[in-house]
Every structure is written in C-alpha cells, then in structure tokens.
Amino acid sequence: MIEVRDAQKWIQNGARRVEILKGISLTIPAGQFVAIVGASGSGKSTLLGLLAGLDSPSSGEIWLDGVPIHNLAEAQLAAVRGRKIGFVFQSYQLIPTLTALENVLLPYELNADGSGLAKARELLTSVGLAERMEHYPIQLSGGEQQRVAIARAFVVEPPIIMADEPTGNLDSSNGRMILDLLLEHNKRAGTTLVLVTHDPEVASTADRKIVLRDGRIVEDTLPFEQEAAVQQAHHG
C-alpha cells in the first residue's frame, strides 16, 4: 500500500544543509496499523507529510497504492491525495466558516460524485455528534472538533488514513476517545492506518511500531515478531 525507497529530506539554509530524514526505506502493507514514534525533532511529522504527499522528498521515492507520488505535479498529487488519503491533523484544521456537516462533506464534494450528505450525517452520528451537525467549529470543544476531523477523513472511504498526533491537543479522556474512534472506524473500513504519536500507550495499540531518531529508523517491530523471537529463544 505504501512504499518508501531511500527517502531523504533536507533544507538548504544558506551554505548549510540541514538533514531531517536520512534515507528512510519501508513498506506498509494494506490494512496495517503503524505507529511512528520518536522524540520531538526526530523527523516523524516530516515522514508522515512525505507519505501523505503534503511535501516531497529531496531524494528517494514514495509509492502510494502503486502510484509514484514523489515526482507528480501538484494537481495530480492533489487528486491522488483526495482519493487515497484521509488525514487527521493535531490542530483539527477545520474550516471556521463551515458547519460540522459542511466540513465533513468538503472532501466528498471535491473528490467524489453524487451526494455525500447521507454518508456525512451517518459518520457524524457514529462519532457522537448527531446533535452538533449545524454547529460551527468555534462552537465545538477540541474533542468535538477532532471527531468532526475523523468523520471528514473517512467520508470518501480512502484506503489510507494518516493521523499526525491526533490526540496531542486533547486531555487524556478525550484523547482516549479519539483514538478508540479512529481504531474502531479503521477496523470497520479495513483501511491502512499510519499514526504519528509521542504517546507510548497509543503506540502500544498498533500492529507495528516504527521508532525514528535523528532522521533514521532505529527500530521497526511487529508485536508478533517479538513474541515469535521470545518463543524461539525459549525453545532454542
């Protein structure tokens, strides 16, 4: 579903080159839930931005569902993003002049045919916002805004959901609820989920954990691989 081949990202600052990602290669199969963790500045949000086509690598390749997105023109890239990716931001990124319902409908109107109204209502109801559909973002709490953002991410039924610290601005009970909603929807839709988090508890719910440090992958584990290794050690 997602393949990264030796992706590097640097910023040229005068004569100085600041390296953010130093050669990342990984493959994420369809349906996997991956948590990307690491200290602040380790490059995890940059990596997620590259995977989502929100930014392009300085060198290397990124393939999304069989499409090489590292050298697409912005218009083509936007079309691929619109159909293939639902993105949940830490800061919600709702449009303040649109109601909750209109915010959820927006990706549908931009990327799909027909009316998405029934779908948008159903999603908002499923995240517990049946009574808040006509409210504007300013009338909603942070947790409610993030639930609108989750409904919006799922509205076009994209094969990939990406979330950048989706619980980062919320208290723990709201954060827990957002995570549960995300995972529940993800299981139901069978999508691939890539989540950036600094919360070890959140990371522990994933199928796979990728740890970044200083722009490199220092650990990449599947929980069942760890178990298999432990069992082998016992039998060995």
Residue 64 belongs to a domain: no
Residue 89 belongs to a domain: yes
Cβ neighbourhood burial of 129 (10 Å; 0-12, 13-18, 19+): buried
Q: Please tell me the pTM assigned to this model.
A: 0.88
Which of the four pLDDT bands, split at 50, 70 and 90, describes residue 225? low
Using DSSP's 3-state secondary structure scheme, residue 215 falls into: coil
- Name the helix (H) or strand (E) containing 19: strand 16-28
Looking at the structure of the chain, the number of domains it has is 1
pLDDT of residue 147: 96
Q: pLDDT tens digits, residue range 120-137?
A: 999 999 999 999 999 999
156 pLDDT above the threshold of 90? yes
Report, in this order, helix, strand and coil percent for the chain, each rounded to 5. Answer: 40, 25, 35
pLDDT of residue 231: 57
Residue 14 belongs to a domain: no
Q: pLDDT tens digits, residue range 14-52?
A: 999 999 999 999 999 999 999 999 998 899 999 999 999
Residue 17 belongs to a domain: no
Which of the four pLDDT bands, split at 50, 70 and 90, describes residue 222? confident
236 pLDDT above the threshold of 60? no
User: Which among 207, 228, 199, 231 has a CA at the least distance from the CA of 39?
Assistant: 199
C-alpha 107/C-alpha 129 separation (Å) is 19
C-alpha 104/C-alpha 133 separation (Å) is 9
pLDDT of residue 111: 85
C-alpha 192/C-alpha 32 separation (Å) is 5
Residue 18 belongs to a domain: no
Sheet of strand 208-213: strand arrangement: 85-88, 160-164, 192-196, 33-37, 208-213, 216-221
Residue 108 belongs to a domain: yes
Which of the four pLDDT bands, split at 50, 70 and 90, describes residue 185? confident
Residue 226 belongs to a domain: yes
224 pLDDT above the threshold of 70? no
pLDDT of residue 226: 52
Residue 93 belongs to a domain: yes
Cβ neighbourhood burial of 171 (10 Å; 0-12, 13-18, 19+): exposed
Which of the four pLDDT bands, split at 50, 70 and 90, describes residue 198? confident
CATH number, domain at 45? 3.40.50.300
User: Which among 128, 147, 126, 127 has a CA at the least distance from the CA of 137?
Assistant: 147
Q: Which domain holds residue 46?
A: 28-58+83-235
Q: pLDDT tens digits, residue range 45-73?
A: 999 999 999 999 999 999 998 899 998 99
C-alpha 10/C-alpha 35 separation (Å) is 23
